[in-house]
Amino acid sequence: MIVSEVMTTKLVTVAPDDTLSHAANLLRQYQFHHLPVVRDSSAIEAFEPNHSSRRTLLLEGLLTSHDIELAASSGTLSLSDVLQQPWQERRVIEVMNRASIRVSPNTSVAAAAQILVERGLNCLPVVEYERIGQTSEEQGNEEETQAVLVGLLTRSDLLMALARSLGAFEPGMQLILPLPLGDLTPLARTLLLAAELHIHVRSVIAAPLHIVIPLEATVRLGTINPTPLLARLQEEHIQYSFADLQREEDKYV
């Protein structure tokens, strides 16, 4: 799975010269915690005969609710001995961060999630690097590139993608299969039995969490009537439990 499959593309953005008051209103209105700061390059492209006039958003940075809170808590910005500027009138470019950590649409979701966790971030800008012009002849024919914003990847996007991949929004149920010493035989046999009984399997997870080998597998079945499969599992002495009802003290069937 790659970032383009789960990222948010309907973006609410601000410009570098917008006021913090305007940005704060957008955050409240849409219940967001971050806003991409972009520069519309369509005006620039109008002077480039070899470029189309399509609207392109060049990423300048990110503005978060925390950035605004810090600006507000600092009170006013001194412009002179007699003139004071309220934080609401300050410009986005003054307090935004440059969002130097970015991903591309083809970045794997696993890699993006690792970046979010390791860097303690809540979102990542998704950019494509495009040529927007050339330098002068004196500087050679080197192409100039800019980061074009195409989406935003948030922790919420990752959680929703995980839920969808697990079939959480589809009717069905989950079985937990113990895997003694990491032996995948019970899981393999369960999948074969499900195929024989024409029971759809929506997802399978057998990943180690705290140790190096998986000790249990989660199988999401696309049915609310798994009785035939459960009967076969019992015949073959394959233990299972129901994920939705499982507690620490529950015993496997």
User: Residue 89 sits in a domain of what CATH number?
Assistant: 3.10.580
User: Residue 176 sits in a domain of what CATH number?
Assistant: 3.30.70.260
**Residues 48 and 140 both lie in one domain:** yes
**Residues 143 and 209 both lie in one domain:** no
Kindly state the DSSP code that residue 101 receives in the 8-state scheme: -
Task: For tokens 């849409």, name the residue.
Answer: 30
Count of domains for the chain:
2
- pLDDT above 60: residue 53: no
Convert the pLDDT of each residue in 85-113 to its tens digit.
788 999 999 999 999 999 999 999 999 99
Q: Which two tokens stand for residue 128?
A: 């494509």
Cα 81 to Cα 71, 90, 194: the distances in Å are 20, 17, 78
Q: Are 8 and 103 in contact (CB under 8 A)?
A: no
- Residue-level pLDDT at 93: 95
Residues forming a β-bridge with 173? 221
- pLDDT above 70: residue 209: no
Q: Would 45 be classed as within a structural domain?
A: yes
Using 50, 70 and 90 to split pLDDT, how confident is the model at 224?
confident
Q: Would 196 be classed as within a structural domain?
A: yes
Residue count of the chain, please give it: 253
- pLDDT above 80: residue 163: yes
Q: Is 19 exposed, middle or buried (0-12, 13-18, 19+ CB in 10 A)?
A: middle
| Other beta carbons within 10 Å of 79 | 9
CA 96 to chain centre: 21
Q: Would 2 be classed as within a structural domain?
A: no
Range(s) of the domain holding residue 241: 167-245
**Residues 20 and 137 both lie in one domain:** yes
Using 50, 70 and 90 to split pLDDT, how confident is the model at 246?
very low
**Residues 12 and 76 both lie in one domain:** yes
**Residues 88 and 198 both lie in one domain:** no
Cα–Cα dist 209/112, whole Å = 19
Q: Which two tokens stand for residue 241?
A: 């439990």
The values of phi and psi at residue 65, to 5°, are: -60, -30
Sheet holding 241-242, edge to edge: 201-205, 216-221, 173-178, 241-242
First and final C-alpha spacing in the chain: 34
Greater confidence (71 vs 213) lies with 71
Q: Which two tokens stand for residue 202?
A: 């929506």
Which pTM does this prediction carry?
Answer: 0.73
**Residues 182 and 141 both lie in one domain:** no
